[in-house]
Chains A and B, each alone.
Chain A
């Protein structure tokens, strides 16, 4: 007998997040560690009349390719990936690796070749999503997921995600709709602003957002969710910022990133750990030195830092900004093979000013401001 909690989780992902309809080609992408959840999703998609197809990743393949492949092999895109990017109506991705630092020993320059080659595929996916041809949701097992004890890690994950995803509540969909409504109001209000200034320890950064669209995220593309984001003006980011949370990307972890921006571009970059990788990513292409996203994390049920961006960027009381590719639906125009979310904790002493007015303090918007 299957665990009813998996059934409930699958139900929210299939019925609410991705709204699977009859005839949809639905890809369920994960690793064997997520098997019980994949089975629940598979059944739910079939019952909804979709065509479920499972894509199981092979742990170790990326490391093998990046360490042993030649440049042509690194840059090659397999026909399955291309076909899936073109044809899928729905993609449900469950990140579930037993080792999220598996690529630490890889030459960052080779990761850059790999990432550049895949930007076309990523752009196609983003465009199809922006045009409504593709609905996709990303969820994750916690980074300490262990191959040796998948059941246990899944149970750990459930406690966390059930809280963060409101799945412990009577009617999770109603809770998401309520948060979505609040985030919708916030997004509309932020849409009237021209410039934001973020001030906290090590950070004084001004970001132009005039005429850009703020998007409320209510559990349809990420799960758990809870953020509003936009694509900032590409030439109007100035000042310095320190990212207090370690920043994972592409199988590595970079610590204590500090960036200085002038005219929208990173002109100085430092990190206490992984600085080489940071520099290689910034040199990936022209767009990698500019912000493609600026966002407020608004899920107050996520309180612990996990080292996994999917969760950390939703933490109520944080902002995050991404170097690289902008989401077209936000009005952002920045193009890059990179999209790297970096999270800045504002729960300590901090302020955000919108067009000169104090609107946010110590991790929360001022009461009744929007």
Chain B
């Protein structure tokens, strides 16, 4: 018996996230373990009158390439991929690994070369997305490996994933439309804030967001989703922060990170475990010591840390502040090879002040945002 939540997840992404239209070309990307969700996507897209096809890889081949390939082989992009990317209207990426640590022993330099080669193609994809010529959404299909990372049984993890996407009910799209309205209103409200002060255990950090644009992540690019984010002013971050959750970068965990900022830059960093790795990453380039993102996690169906950034950065009641590259659409200008999301749990006794006013306590905003439509009407009246 197939899980009805898989079909609902596919329908949600096809209908709500990608708004797939009749006649559109839709590629479904993933590994073989994603097959059940890939098939659900395929069927859903056919019903929508689109032209779906799959691009499925086999777990384990990347490891072989990085182990046996020459530099030239690692750098290779098949020529037809450049034409293909121009013809696609939408892509769904399904993350579903059967071994999330498969690459932990490959040469990091070779892996970096591979990622750099793939980035050439990805950049073209993002250009087309930014130009409004193409849509993309990333999601996850539960496997035992992801469940293990989360410290759960597979069936408990499935419940966790599907409830985070709200596909355990029939009204997922309706739910996300409401979430979107609320997140947009929140983002709009935050747009008028000049400075945030974050207070928590061993944390007192001031971040300037003056003139920056807050963006609502409402299930368009990720499913699940649920955050508002911006890129802070590059030279104004001051104070200290302690990240309560382990910060994971390329599969490696760094625990109990403490950072001190002065004039926007990290001037002191330490970690209880993985301190060397933390310092190596901070030394990657000039931008690696500067914040590229500040965000509120607002998906309260995600209530625990599962070692997967797709979920962790959206945990309701947390904030994440990423070191490294910023979002230009948010007004950010920091450039770095790094973008490392680190999550700070504010659910127990965290407080956030906006220009001196307490707006967030114990993991919740104190007031509901004014609905975006009302705010727009109000603005129009003025």
CA separation between A60 and B7, bound complex, in Å?
14
- Determine if A49 is an interface residue (Cβ-Cβ < 8 Å): yes
CA separation between A57 and B64, bound complex, in Å?
20
Cβ-defined contact, A87 with B46, below 8 A: no
Contact with A along B56-94 (1 / 0, CB 8 A): 111111001100111001001011110110011000000
A residues near B120, Cβ cutoff 8 Å:
none
Closest CB-CB distance, A128 to chain B, in whole Å?
Answer: 14
Cβ-defined contact, A61 with B42, below 8 A: yes
B residues near A56, Cβ cutoff 8 Å:
32, 56-58
- Determine if B43 is an interface residue (Cβ-Cβ < 8 Å): yes
When the two chains form the complex, which single residue of B46, B51, B60, B70 contacts A49, counting CB atoms closer than 8 Å?
B70
CA separation between A38 and B64, bound complex, in Å?
11
- Determine if A68 is an interface residue (Cβ-Cβ < 8 Å): yes
Cβ-defined contact, A58 with B42, below 8 A: yes
B residues near A81, Cβ cutoff 8 Å:
53
Contact with B along A21-59 (1 / 0, CB 8 A): 000010000001001001100110011010111111111
Cβ-defined contact, B47 with A78, below 8 A: no
When the two chains form the complex, which single residue of A42, A58, A73, A87 contacts B79, counting CB atoms closer than 8 Å?
A87
When the two chains form the complex, which single residue of A35, A61, A73, A87 contacts B39, counting CB atoms closer than 8 Å?
A61
Nearest residue, chain A, Cβ from B70: A49
When the two chains form the complex, which single residue of A39, A58, A86, A87 contacts B56, counting CB atoms closer than 8 Å?
A58
Cβ-defined contact, A79 with B25, below 8 A: yes
Cβ-defined contact, A80 with B84, below 8 A: yes
Number of interface residues of B (CB under 8 A): 36
Nearest residue, chain A, Cβ from B56: A56
Closest CB-CB distance, A203 to chain B, in whole Å?
Answer: 43
When the two chains form the complex, which single residue of B39, B76, B84 contacts A64, counting CB atoms closer than 8 Å?
B39
- Determine if B38 is an interface residue (Cβ-Cβ < 8 Å): yes
CA separation between A299 and B285, bound complex, in Å?
64
When the two chains form the complex, which single residue of B39, B55, B73 contacts A60, counting CB atoms closer than 8 Å?
B39
When the two chains form the complex, which single residue of B47, B54, B61 contacts A39, counting CB atoms closer than 8 Å?
B61
B residues near A69, Cβ cutoff 8 Å:
46
Interface positions, chain B 1-25, Cβ under 8 Å from A, are 25
Nearest residue, chain B, Cβ from A44: B68
Closest CB-CB distance, B111 to chain A, in whole Å?
Answer: 16
Nearest residue, chain B, Cβ from A69: B46
Cβ-defined contact, B80 with A83, below 8 A: yes
**Known contacts A46-B65, A51-B73, A54-B61; A68/B39 CB under 8 A:** no
- Determine if B49 is an interface residue (Cβ-Cβ < 8 Å): yes
B residues near A32, Cβ cutoff 8 Å:
32, 35, 58
Interface positions, chain A 76-109, Cβ under 8 Å from B, are 76, 78-84, 86-87
Closest CB-CB distance, B73 to chain A, in whole Å?
Answer: 6
- Determine if A130 is an interface residue (Cβ-Cβ < 8 Å): no
When the two chains form the complex, which single residue of B35, B76, B88 contacts A58, counting CB atoms closer than 8 Å?
B35
CA separation between A42 and B69, bound complex, in Å?
10
- Determine if A70 is an interface residue (Cβ-Cβ < 8 Å): yes
A residues near B56, Cβ cutoff 8 Å:
55-58
- Determine if A65 is an interface residue (Cβ-Cβ < 8 Å): yes
Cβ-defined contact, A87 with B78, below 8 A: yes
Closest CB-CB distance, A45 to chain B, in whole Å?
Answer: 9
Cβ-defined contact, A46 with B73, below 8 A: yes
CA separation between A73 and B52, bound complex, in Å?
9
Dominant SS among interface residues on chain A: helix
Closest CB-CB distance, A23 to chain B, in whole Å?
Answer: 8
Cβ-defined contact, B61 with A52, below 8 A: yes
B residues near A78, Cβ cutoff 8 Å:
25, 27, 51, 53
Cβ-defined contact, B68 with A70, below 8 A: no
When the two chains form the complex, which single residue of B38, B59, B68 contacts A46, counting CB atoms closer than 8 Å?
B68
B residues near A68, Cβ cutoff 8 Å:
43, 46-47
Closest CB-CB distance, A173 to chain B, in whole Å?
Answer: 23
A residues near B55, Cβ cutoff 8 Å:
80
Nearest residue, chain A, Cβ from B63: A39
Cβ-defined contact, B65 with A58, below 8 A: no
Cβ-defined contact, B87 with A79, below 8 A: yes
Interface positions, chain A 323-349, Cβ under 8 Å from B, are none
**Known contacts A46-B68, A61-B39, A64-B42; A83/B58 CB under 8 A:** no
B residues near A58, Cβ cutoff 8 Å:
35, 38-39, 42, 54, 56
**Known contacts A58-B56, A64-B43, A76-B51; A46/B76 CB under 8 A:** no
**Known contacts A64-B46, A73-B51, A83-B81; A42/B39 CB under 8 A:** no
**Known contacts A39-B60, A78-B53; A51/B76 CB under 8 A:** yes
CA separation between A84 and B78, bound complex, in Å?
9
Interface positions, chain A 187-215, Cβ under 8 Å from B, are none
B residues near A80, Cβ cutoff 8 Å:
27, 53, 55, 80, 84
B residues near A87, Cβ cutoff 8 Å:
78-80
10 pairs, A vs B, C-beta closer than 8 Å: A25-B78, A39-B58, A42-B64, A51-B76, A58-B38, A61-B39, A76-B51, A79-B84, A79-B88, A80-B55
Which of A's residues lie within 8 Å of B, judged by CB?
25, 32, 35, 38-39, 42-43, 46-47, 49, 51-61, 64-65, 68-70, 73, 76, 78-84, 86-87
* A-B pairs, 8 with minimum CB distance: A83-B80, A78-B53, A56-B56, A32-B32, A46-B68, A79-B87, A79-B84, A87-B80
- List 13 other contacts, CB 8 Å, given A51-B73, A79-B25, A79-B80: A25-B79, A42-B61, A43-B68, A52-B65, A54-B61, A58-B35, A59-B35, A61-B39, A64-B43, A73-B49, A76-B51, A82-B80, A83-B80
